[in-house]
C-alpha cells in the first residue's frame, strides 16, 4: 500500500506536470523542464541522502515506519500547492513551481527512502526478497493506475484547464495519506510476522562524507546504480513525452482518454508479468532476466516511435509489451539492491537514500530536462499549444525522438554496461 503513495508522487509530476506547464500555463518547454529538474536535483538528492542517513542513525529510537507518518502529514499540502499556481508572469509561474516542487521533493523523501529500506529488513532470503519486490510491483501497478489513468480522467472530465488540475490534486491529497497510513500500521505487523527483532542502540559512529562515498562506490552497487540511472532517464523521457506523442504524432484529440486506457493496459501487464519474472529469476538468475527485460523494453519503444500511424490497437499491444519488460528490470534491479542492503544492514538507509535519489534524478533528468530541451530544440511552440494549434513537422519529430528513440538508446546502453561490469 505504501507503494501506491510513492508511485502517485513519482508519476503524476512525470506524466502531467510538464504538459500542464507548457500547454496550460504557457511556459516555454526548456524553462518548464528546468523548473522541475532543479528541485529534483538539489532538494531531491539532498533530502533523500539526509533521510537515508538519519533513518540509519536513529533506527534504534525512531523506527523507519514512523517516517511514513511524516510523509502522510505533508503529502496533501505538497500535492495541492504544486498545481494551485497563482496568476503571475511566465517567469513568476516557473519560480512558483520550482518552490512548490522543492517542498514536494522534501515530503517525497521523508517516506520513500525509509519505505524502501524496510523491504531489505523483512527477509534474509534472496528469492524471498524477489517475491517481496514482485508484490511491490503489483501495488506499483495500482499506483500507476491512480496517477496515470484516474488523474488524467479527472483532468479531462473537468475541462482540462487549471481548475481541472487543481481538482485532481485535491483527490490525490486524500489518496496518498490514506495509503501511507495503511503502510505505517502494516509495517509493524509485517516485522512481527517476519521475526525481525527491534533495532537496539549499537553505538555506531557517524559516517563521514568520504566513507559514505566509498560504501556507495563499491562495484556491486555502483554499476547497478549507474545502469538504473540510464534506464530511469529513458523511461522518464518516454513517460513525460507520452501525452505529446498521442496529441501530435498520433493526432489524437482524446489523448487524456487514450492515455487512461494505455495505463490500464500497462498495469495489467505489470501484474501478469510478475510471476513470470520471479520464476525466471529463480531458475536462471537475476542478472540474465534483468538484461533480457532491459533489452526488450528499449527495443519495444524504438518500434513504437516509428509506428505512430499504426492505430490504437497497435499502441495497446506495444504498451503491454513495453510495460511487461519495464516491470522486469524494475523488479530485478530493486531485488538486487535489496540484497545488497539486506546483507549490509548498517548502511541500508544509505543504500536506499542513494537509490531513491538516483530514481528521482534519472526520472527527472529524462522526464523534464531532456524532454524540455529536445522539444525546445526542435521548435515546440507553447503559445500555439495553449491555443490548440498544430506544431511544425520538426517539432513533431522532436517528440518522436523524446518518446521512443532516445529512451531506447539509453536502455540498451544500460543493459550493455551491466552485462559487462555488473554482478549479483
What single string gives the DSSP state of each residue in 255-268?
A: HHHHHHHHHHHHHH
Q: What is the pLDDT of residue 191?
A: 59
Residues 248, 389: Cα–Cα separation, whole Å: 10
Res 75: pLDDT: 92
Is residue 195 predicted with pLDDT exceeding 70? Answer: no
What DSSP element (H or E) covers 95? helix 90-121
Q: How far apart are CA 424 and CA 422, in angstroms?
A: 7
Mean pLDDT is lowest, of 101-105, 263-267, 273-277, 419-423, for 419-423
Q: At what angle do helices 286-305 and 406-421 cross, to 10 degrees?
A: 160
Q: Is the pLDDT of residue 387 over 80?
A: yes
Q: Environment class of residue 110 by beta-carbon count within 10 Å: exposed (0-12), middle (13-18) or buried (19+)?
A: buried
Q: Domains in the chain, start-ordered, CATH in brackets?
A: 2-194+215-421 (1.20.1250.20)
Task: Assess contact for 164 and 20: CB atoms under 8 A.
Answer: no
CA 143 to CA 75: how far, in whole Å? 15
CB 318 within 8 A of CB 304: yes
Contacts 24+ apart (CB under 8 A), 19-24: 19/240, 19/243, 19/244, 20/83, 20/165, 21/93, 21/94, 21/97, 22/375, 22/380, 22/382, 22/385, 23/382, 23/385, 23/386, 24/160, 24/161, 24/162, 24/165, 24/386
State the CB neighbour count (10 A cutoff) for residue 389: 9
Give the pLDDT score at 227.
Answer: 92
The yes-or-no verdict on residue 202 having pLDDT over 50 is no
Residue owning grid cell 534472496: 126
61: pLDDT strictly greater than 90: no
| CB atoms inside a 10 Å sphere around CB 12 | 26
Find how far residue 54's CA is from the centre of its chain.
Answer: 23
118-127, 323-332, 415-424: least confident range: 118-127
Least confident of 287-291, 345-349, 399-403: 345-349
**Phi, psi (degrees; rounded to nearest 5) at 390:** -70, 155
pLDDT at 203 exceeding the cut of 90: no
Residue 356, φ and ψ in degrees, nearest 5? -65, -40
Q: What is the C-alpha separation between 295 and 217, in angstroms, rounded?
A: 25
| Block residue for cell numbers 496517477 | 147
Question: CA 34, CA 373: separation in Å to the nearest integer?
Answer: 9
Q: Is this prediction's pTM over 0.75? A: no
C-alpha span between 110 and 234 (Å, rounded): 26
**Which residue, among 52, 140, 71, has the nearest Cα to 328 in the 3D structure?**
140
Q: How many CB atoms lie within 10 A of CB 158?
A: 14
Helices and strands of the chain, counted as H and E runs: 19, 0
Q: Is residue 201's pLDDT more than 60?
A: no
In the block, cell 542513525 appears at 57
Residues shown for the chain: 424
Residue 83 has pLDDT above 80, yes or no: yes
Residues 16, 8: contact at Cβ < 8 Å? Answer: no
CA 155, distance to chain mean position in Å, is: 21
Instruction: Please check the confidence at residue 190 and state whether its pLDDT lies above 90.
Output: no
Alpha-helical segments (H) within 122-208: 126-145, 151-157, 162-194
pLDDT digits (tens, 9 = 90+) for 323-353: 999 999 888 888 888 788 767 667 777 787 7
Q: How far is CA 341 from CA 124, 138, 204, in A?
A: 10, 22, 17
CB 332 within 8 A of CB 292: no
Question: CA-CA distances (angstroms) from residue 190 to 121, 186, 309, 331?
Answer: 10, 6, 49, 20
Q: Which grid cell is 137?
A: 510491483
Which grid coordinates belong to 190?
A: 509485517
Alpha-carbon torsion angle 215, 221, 225, 227, nearest 10: 140
- C-alpha 409, offset from chain centre: 19
Of 126-135, 226-235, 265-274, minimum mean pLDDT range: 126-135
350 or 246: which leads in pLDDT = 246
Give, in order, the Cα–Cα distances in Å from 424 to each of 176, 228, 247, 286.
Answer: 34, 14, 42, 7
Worst-scoring range by mean pLDDT, 162-176, 208-222, 224-238? 208-222
pLDDT in tens, 138-179: 888 888 889 888 998 899 889 889 999 999 999 999 999 999
Average pLDDT of the chain is 85
pLDDT of residue 230: 93
- Among the residue ranges 121-125, 215-219, 319-323, 377-381, the one predicted with the least confidence is 121-125
Bigger pLDDT: 40 vs 287: 287
Q: Which residue, 268, 1, 3, 325, is CA-closest to 140?
A: 3
Which of 100-114, 118-132, 257-271 is predicted with the least confidence, judged by mean pLDDT? Answer: 118-132
Best mean pLDDT range from 120-124, 160-164, 188-192 = 160-164
d(CA 259, CA 12): 13
Span of 1-10, 271-280, 319-328 with lowest mean pLDDT? 1-10
Alpha-carbon dihedral sign for residues 164, 167, 172, 175: negative
Amino acid at each position: 500500500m505504501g507503494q501506491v503513495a510513492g508511485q502517485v508522487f513519482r508519476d503524476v509530476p512525470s506524466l502531467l506536470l510538464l504538459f500542464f506547464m507548457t500547454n496550460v500555463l504557457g511556459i516555454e518547454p526548456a524553462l518548464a523542464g528546468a523548473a522541475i529538474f532543479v528541485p529534483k536535483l538539489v532538494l531531491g538528492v539532498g533530502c533523500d541522502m539526509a533521510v537515508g542517513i538519519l533513518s540509519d542513525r536513529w533506527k534504534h529510537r525512531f523506527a523507519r515506519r514512523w517516517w511514513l507518518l511524516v510523509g502522510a502529514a505533508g503529502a496533501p499540502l505538497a500535492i495541492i500547492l504544486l498545481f494551485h499556481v497563482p496568476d503571475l508572469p511566465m517567469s513568476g509561474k516557473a519560480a512558483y513551481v520550482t518552490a512548490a516542487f522543492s517542498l514536494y521533493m522534501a515530503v517525497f523523501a521523508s517516506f520513500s527512502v525509509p519505505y524502501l529500506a524496510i523491504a531489505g529488513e523483512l527477509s534474509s532470503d534472496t528469492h524471498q526478497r524477489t517475491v517481496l519486490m514482485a508484490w511491490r510491483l503489483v501495488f506499483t501497478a495500482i499506483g500507476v493506475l491512480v496517477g496515470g489513468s484516474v488523474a488524467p480522467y479527472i483532468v479531462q472530465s473537468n475541462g482540462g484547464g487549471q481548475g481541472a488540475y487543481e481538482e485532481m490534486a485535491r483527490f490525490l491529497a486524500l489518496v496518498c495519506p490514506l495509503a501511507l497510513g495503511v503502510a505505517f500500521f502494516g509495517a509493524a505487523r509485517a516485522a512481527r510476522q517476519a521475526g525481525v527483532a527491534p533495532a537496539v542502540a549499537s553505538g555506531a559512529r557517524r559516517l563521514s562524507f568520504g566513507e559514505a562515498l566509498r560504501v556507495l562506490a563499491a562495484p556491486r552497487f555502483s554499476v547497478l546504480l549507474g545502469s538504473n540511472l540510464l534506464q530511469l532517464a529513458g523511461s522518464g523521457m518516454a513517460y513525460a513525452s507520452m501525452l505529446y506523442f498521442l496529441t501530435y504524432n498520433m493526432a489524437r484529440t482524446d489523448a487524456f482518454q487514450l492515455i487512461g486506457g494505455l495505463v490500464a493496459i500497462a498495469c495489467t501487464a505489470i501484474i501478469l508479468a510478475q510471476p513470470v519474472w520471479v520464476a525466471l529469476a529463480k531458475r536462471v538468475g537475476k542478472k540474465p532476466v534483468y538484461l533480457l527485460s532491459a533489452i526488450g523494453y528499449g527495443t519495444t519503444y524504438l518500434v513504437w516511435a516509428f509506428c505512430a500511424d499504426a492505430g490504437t490497437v497497435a499502441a495497446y499491444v506495444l504498451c503491454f509489451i513495453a510495460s511487461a519488460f519495464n516491470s522486469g528490470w524494475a523488479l530485478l534491479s530493486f531485488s538486487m539492491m535489496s540484497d545488497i542492503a539486506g546483507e549490509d544492514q548498517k548502511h541500508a538507509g544509505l543504500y536506499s537514500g542513494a537509490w531513491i535519489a538516483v530514481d528521482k534524478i534519472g526520472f527527472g533528468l529524462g522526464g523534464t530536462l531532456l524532454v524540455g530541451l529536445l522539444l525546445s530544440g526542435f521548435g515546440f511552440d507553447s503559445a500555439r499549444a495553449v491555443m490548440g494549434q498544430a506544431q511544425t513537422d520538426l517539432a513533431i519529430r522532436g517528440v518522436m525522438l523524446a518518446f521512443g528513440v532516445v529512451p531506447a538508446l539509453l536502455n540498451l546502453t544500460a543493459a550493455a554496461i551491466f552485462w559487462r561490469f555488473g554482478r549479483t
